Amino acid sequence: MAKLAKTSSRHSVEPGVELIGDAETLNSYSNVLSGVVKLTKSLSDGRQQIVGLRFAPDFLGQPFKAKSAIHAEAATTVSLCSFPKAAIEQMMKQSPELEHRLLRQTLNELDEAREWMVTLGCKTAPEKVASFLLMIARNIDSGVGPAARSARFDLPLTRAGISDFLGITNETVSRQLTRLRMDGVIRIENSRRVTVDDISRLEQRCGGRWPRRNRPIYET
Amino acid sequence: MAKLAKTSSRHSVEPGVELIGDAETLNSYSNVLSGVVKLTKSLSDGRQQIVGLRFAPDFLGQPFKAKSAIHAEAATTVSLCSFPKAAIEQMMKQSPELEHRLLRQTLNELDEAREWMVTLGCKTAPEKVASFLLMIARNIDSGVGPAARSARFDLPLTRAGISDFLGITNETVSRQLTRLRMDGVIRIENSRRVTVDDISRLEQRCGGRWPRRNRPIYET
DNA sequence: CGCGTAATTGAAGTCGCTCAATTGTTGTGG
DNA sequence: CCACAACAATTGAGCGACTTCAATTACGCG
């Protein structure tokens, strides 16, 4: 990494700034030092889907030009540590270690993507919103491990952003959030800042742990 | 590959056979020689989502134990060429070439997964079914390239299987298929075998190419 | 042939969407 | 400090797409 340090540079990026343009190729690789980057894909009629979120200390960049267009944008204020693309690619040829780490990260991303496919395809709107909050809590809140009982964090996305992530409308997101608030599962101040006093209660709303309806699965 | 050939073995697997059990780890890596393998994830209440399909000549196997449980099952009759896990992992340490290929494939899978996230999250039921047919046509039909005007193939999944893939019910899948048939976009014999005379007509039904509604996107 | 599963089709219900109005928040300039 | 504008979020009412439940038909296989 010593050799890389010479060519690295740091940036701070404001929300809304485009990091990887559609059908473009990123001119550098970066590490996310803080903040959240959202990866989106869109249909030509404007509908769009968030296909991933990158938190610190994730890696950011298109290793080989993917055939599909992807779009990366700062969701919050983001600070990045960037390296020239050529430098990284050069290093990858020389040291298998770097490629190995890249493979690891890619496998992780694949895993996450599939996890969210389950959420998108199977879960109801209330479950989707709860699952989103839980995912954010686990990634944002001061790195408190999965064993934490409570959490407090800022949502990195607007309601519309969350709706793009979950495949539902922003109105539905809003309604489900207020329902969670009414039920005492979460508290909301600022409409961005959320507190979860009892994480297990949130987990119960994520679906999948019990039959969806109040009747046994196996009937006579 | 000469060295690997010594340890490889071939299998033929019937539909429904489990290739990777939930929370288990595959005891070998395989190449899919023919047929289709479906990768699924499920919620504990029974809801399940197909998160990927593997066609020939795709690779099959869990490179490093992923933290998430995944389930692989033969969708059709499948023939595999398998290698002992230990042999592959040994080879990966010695030759970066293999790991490089693995990275390529993984990036491809990630790309596909994200593509389907868009379908799951954004598209309507009619668009989902059309997209599914198009994807199958491009992967199954005798490898006829993307430039083909027509296609004929066997669906590798039942209606219920398709519904697990698209996040809709099998009844809806059935209804949309008959609608496509009524409209002359596809022909169905056998309820498995499908013929698409004009692929471009099918593409038009996949959504995203034009505004979803018959009014301009940008209004005054 | 007749059984079991898959597929189709219909009718009714519901969840989430659309449209629309209101309220809340943030940042800017007077 | 307040007024204002621009945008984000909330909330309501009505509708529609998809689901659910149920009945029927088609298909594959012993």
The answer to whether B166 contacts A117, with C-beta atoms less than 8 Å apart, is no
Q: Residue A216: is its pLDDT beyond 70?
A: no
Minimum CA–CA partner of A213 in chain B: B45
Q: How far apart are CA A161 and CA A159, in angstroms?
A: 5
The answer to whether B174 CB sits below 7 Å from nucleic acid chain C is yes
Q: Residue A98: is its pLDDT beyond 50?
A: yes
From the CA of B69 to the C1' of C21: give the distance in Å: 47
Q: Which residue is nearest to nucleotide C19 (CA to C1')?
A: A171
The answer to whether B64 contacts A122, with C-beta atoms less than 8 Å apart, is no
Give me the numbers of helices (H) and strands (E) for chain B, helices first please: 7, 11
Mean pLDDT comparison of A11-25, A64-78, B7-21, B196-210, highest-scoring range = B196-210
Minimum CA–CA partner of B163 in chain A: A121
Tokens of A145: 């491990």
Chain B residues with CB under 8 Å of A120 CB are 117, 120-121, 167
The answer to whether A168 CB sits below 7 Å from nucleic acid chain C is yes
- The whole-chain average pLDDT of chain B stands at 86
Q: How far apart are CA A130 and CA A89, in angstroms?
A: 40
Q: Residue A110: is its pLDDT beyond 70?
A: yes
Q: Which residues neighbour A67 within 8 Å (Cβ) at sequence distance 6 or greater? A: B111
Tokens of B33: 């020689």
Q: Residue B6: is its pLDDT beyond 70?
A: no
Q: How far is B163 from chain A (nearest CA, A)?
A: 10
Residue in A102, A110, A167 nearest the CB of B113: A110
Give me the numbers of helices (H) and strands (E) for chain A, helices first please: 7, 11
In 3D, which of B32, B26, B112, B34 has the Cα closest to residue B63?
A: B26
Q: How far is A55 from chain B (nearest CA, A)?
A: 18
**What percentage of residues in chain B have a pLDDT greater than 90?**
61
pLDDT at A215: 40
Which one of A20, A95, A103 makes the best mutation probe of the B interface by having the most chain B beta carbons within 10 Å? A103
State the pLDDT confidence band at A211, using cuts at 50, 70 and 90: low
Mean pLDDT of A88-100: 84
Q: How far is A164 from chain B (nearest CA, A)?
A: 8
**Least confident span in A24-28, A187-191, A195-199:** A24-28
Which one of A110, A128, A205, A214 makes the best mutation probe of the B interface by having the most chain B beta carbons within 10 Å? A110
Express the helix, strand and coil content of chain A in percent, nearest 5 each.
40, 25, 35
In 3D, which of A99, A103, A100 has the Cα closest to residue A88?
A: A99
Which run of H or of E encompasses B172? helix B170-182
Q: Residue B68: is its pLDDT beyond 80?
A: no
Q: How far apart are CA B177 and CA B205, in angstroms?
A: 12
The answer to whether A166 contacts B211, with C-beta atoms less than 8 Å apart, is no
Q: How far apart are CA B27 and CA B24, in angstroms?
A: 9
Tokens of B137: 């046509």
Chain B residues with CB under 8 Å of A70 CB are 114
The answer to whether B118 contacts A211, with C-beta atoms less than 8 Å apart, is no
Chain A residues with CB under 8 Å of B71 CB are none
Chain C: positions less than 7 Å from a protein CB are 6-11, 15-20, 24-26
Q: Residue B25: is its pLDDT beyond 60?
A: no
Q: Residue A20: is its pLDDT beyond 80?
A: no
The answer to whether A107 contacts B64, with C-beta atoms less than 8 Å apart, is yes
Tokens of A28: 């550098």
The answer to whether A68 contacts B106, with C-beta atoms less than 8 Å apart, is no
For the beta carbon of residue B153, count every other beta carbon within 10 angstroms.
19
Phi, psi for residue A59 in degrees, rounded to 5: -95, 150
Which one of B93, B112, B114, B205 makes the best mutation probe of the A interface by having the most chain A beta carbons within 10 Å? B114
Distance, CA of A4 to chain centre:
27
Q: Could you tell me the maximum CA-CA distance found in chain A, to the nearest angstrom?
A: 70
The answer to whether A41 contacts B107, with C-beta atoms less than 8 Å apart, is no
Residue bearing the bigger pLDDT, A51 or B83: A51
Phi, psi for residue A194 in degrees, rounded to 5: -125, 140
Minimum CA–CA partner of A112 in chain B: B68
The nt closest to A178 (CA vs C1′) is D10
Tell me if A105 sits within 8 A of A75, measured CB to CB. Answer: no
Chain A residues with CB under 8 Å of B114 CB are 39, 41, 51-52, 68, 70, 113
The answer to whether A126 CB sits below 7 Å from nucleic acid chain C is yes
The answer to whether A49 contacts B209, with C-beta atoms less than 8 Å apart, is no
B28-42 confidence digits (pLDDT tens): 789 999 999 999 999
Q: Residue A145: is its pLDDT beyond 70?
A: no
A44-77 confidence digits (pLDDT tens): 999 999 999 999 999 888 777 667 789 999 999 9
State the pLDDT confidence band at B22, using cuts at 50, 70 and 90: very low
Tell me if A131 sits within 8 A of A116, measured CB to CB. Answer: no
